[in-house]
Amino acid sequence: MLKSVRYAVLAGALSLSFCGQAAPAGDLPLMPWPQKVELSAQAGYLTLDNEVSIAIRGDDLEGAVERWRQRIALQTGWELKPQSGSHRPPTITVTIAQRLDPQPRLDSDESYHLSITAEGVKLNAATRFGALRGMETLLQLIRPGAERVAIPWIEIEDRPRFPWRGLLIDSARHFMPVSTILRQLDGMAAAKLNVFHWHLTDDQGWRFASTHYPKLQQLASDGQFYTQAQMREVVRYATERGIRVVPEFDVPGHASAIAVAYPELMSAPGPYAMEREWGVLKPVLDPTKEETYRFIDTLVGELADIFPDSYLHIGGDEVDDTQWRNNPDIQNFMRQHQLADSHALHTWFNQRLETILAKHQRRMVGWDEIFHPSLPKRSLIQSWQGQDALGSIARAGYQGILSTGFYLDQPHATAYHYRNEVLPQGLNDIDKPRKGDRAQSWSFTMPRLKGSAVEGSFTLIADAENRTWRGFIDFKGKSRRAVRDITWPGDGQVSFSVDTWMGETRPVLTLRENVLSGYFLVGNTRYPASGKRLEDIPEGRAPVVPEQEQMANILGGEAALWAENVIAPVMDIKLWPRAFSVAERLWSARDVNDVDNMYRRLAQTDAWSTISVGLQQHDQSQRQMMRLAGTADILPLQILAQALEPAQYYTRNHLKFQAGNYHQFEPLNRLADALGPESMTTRQVQGWVDALIANPRDKESAQALRRLFIRWQDNYQDLLPLLEGSYQLRAIKPVAEDVAHLAALGLKMIERIEKRERISAAERALWQSQLDEAARVRDELVIAAVYPLEKLLRAGVELNQ
């Protein structure tokens, strides 16, 4: 008998015997979570040994058996016996119903059925692609337990929610060696991602070898480019793993590298030098020259010969039209062709491109800026501008994919990406006042370190009994968003959370005498805010939500890893295991959204992907710390890192810009570069703090906090020689001092809460000022532990009130 598990009960009491242990069903180490999981009511398991064997029927998966056996050996630590020497039936039988061309397509069937019983493992799939996905699920289940290696008796029916589940890697701004790319393909396959979007050209470098235009790689790559043989190897490697490769050749903007090699194609005369600065730059192709289209036609032909996928990405984003506006010949061309503005000229250019791509049997993919009603419906739009833009694309009958909210080059908490629903959502009338409601609206301005200030307003609404709050926020130029987790304790300070294009955003504001002050916490970084009370609820823009049938135009999404702050030695730190959360959002059912459960499974996936797949997030972090410390004894630095995070959102980029270091040769060698995007230890601290606040007699949580704070406090003396011995680490000495001081402060707070001794107003003011000082960004780092300590402080103040 089998017991069906819906996701809603994953965190509940249902359990099974797994690897000889009792474990909650939600703790099955699967990510992405399958569509349907059925557990055997008998709670049995299949024991494995080093005679494990695999048989594939119905198709030839070109070396897959050996790859899978090697991974099982890595996961178990066994030396597997040769398959040919075994007379037992196969441990794992993979049956594929239909033999297909190995080249994956958008409509490839990736469904599979996995059955594990006392008789063995049966993996059935319609195609090779489903078999590849199903085997990753099986491999996630094979882990040593307390007594043996065993897999639970289980039935899994699975298929992806979206057909386009991609990862963009930028090899243009910083070159990424082929070995680095191949390792990320292994990670993608493990996460069931199926589109590798390869960003090969940009202002700072041309990265693919052209036979017909060799000056591109000779003059505009600093000698760092991929040969055609290397690109074919990447395609072959990806194909074996069921991954499509979509190359991006960015035109007409982001064209500074083209300008260096072929200035005659540009909209302003040269000569041009290699561009080293980051940002939106002026060189742009001349769309009025036929030679421009011959150039593109030839390069598209070369790419089509190397990359067999039916889609080719032409970029099309961030076109600075200065050169177009200042060129008399281009302006005359626009008048002759009745092109009203630069957007119309850009669309003219894209229409010519679409014809060239069709000639080579390719379909156009481009960023939001190519969207125009006259663009052929064959085109696919990739949105970096958000769900509203994606909703407009789908409404207009175009297919689209989402990248907003999935930018992994920005350090963000994994939960932020995990909450990022691809399909546009409405407000469900939360912004409509009801009888008896009381509403307050406030304007705000939040200056940023680079670019214009963020402006807008928010409205908080209390029901007639003043028991519940709801609210929404209107950012200037964007649609209205619902807010969550509103706290307004009555002391004039209000806080709430909302996910924005900047990341998770939590205003912490004081509202007094119609004046707003405080800060917006963007990720983990504070940005000051000011504003005033408004007399009325402002008009807002409703989210763009397509009709249900139009939602089918949304094919999925892509995580993006832009490389301004990424080099090969730290790439895995930026991507993994966080990309598994994006993969789950794109693969799993929409109601798979329990954040705590996700984090439990992510921790298991982190270890599994390191051992089985060979991802290097932990190795890279340790290497960077060893380089900084000058010794292999980096334990003190690792303990310090438990309290720290890199400054989130684009704060680090903007700080580099302010310092004049926003360029290709800025070293990415700080401690911030060695850290993952969030501290999992600090997340644990948040959980212990919440438990202690809920129950001051929770000795287990109190003791866990006490042990950790003592470790942080004592660590400073061990850390000091490392800080003094490295000019790079010396910059964070004040940060290390603050961590030790905060640990001591945390111990005082725990004692007060356990004894139920209220913290006085004077103590609160002093301790809050210490927390505020420690919250500053220093050397691109933030002490993330500040925020659970703020919770403890407030709880201590509120005791016996």
Would you call 752 helix, strand, or coil by DSSP? Answer: helix
Tell me the C-alpha distance between 750 and 577, whole Å.
33
What are residue 165's DSSP bridge partners? Answer: 557
Which contacts qualify for 746-752: CB closer than 8 Å, 24 or more apart?
746/705, 746/709, 746/785, 746/789, 746/792, 747/706, 747/709, 747/710, 747/713, 749/789, 749/792, 749/793, 749/796, 750/692, 750/702, 750/705, 750/706, 750/709, 750/792, 752/796, 752/799
Alpha carbon of residue 392 to chain centroid: 24
Assess whether 798 carries a catalytic annotation: no
Tell me the C-alpha distance between 52 and 551, whole Å.
44
Q: Which of 51, 318, 666, 763 is catalytic?
A: 318
Helical pair 680-694 and 699-724, crossing angle rounded to 10 deg: 150
Cα dihedral 361, 362, 363, 364 sign: negative
Contact criterion met (CB below 8 Å) for 110 and 242: yes
Q: What is the DSSP string of 173-218?
A: SS---HHHHHHHHHHHHHTT--EEEEE-EETTEE-B--SS-THHHH
Contact criterion met (CB below 8 Å) for 713 and 743: yes
Contact criterion met (CB below 8 Å) for 144 and 19: yes
Task: Using the structure block, give the residue that is written with the tokens 């909302």.
Answer: 498
Q: Which residues contact 513 (CB under 8 A, 6 or more apart)?
A: none
Q: Whose CA is closest to 525, among 377, 677, 753? A: 677
| Two structure tokens written together for 722 | 């490392």
Tell me the C-alpha distance between 180 and 513, whole Å.
57
Q: Which residues are marked as active site?
A: 318
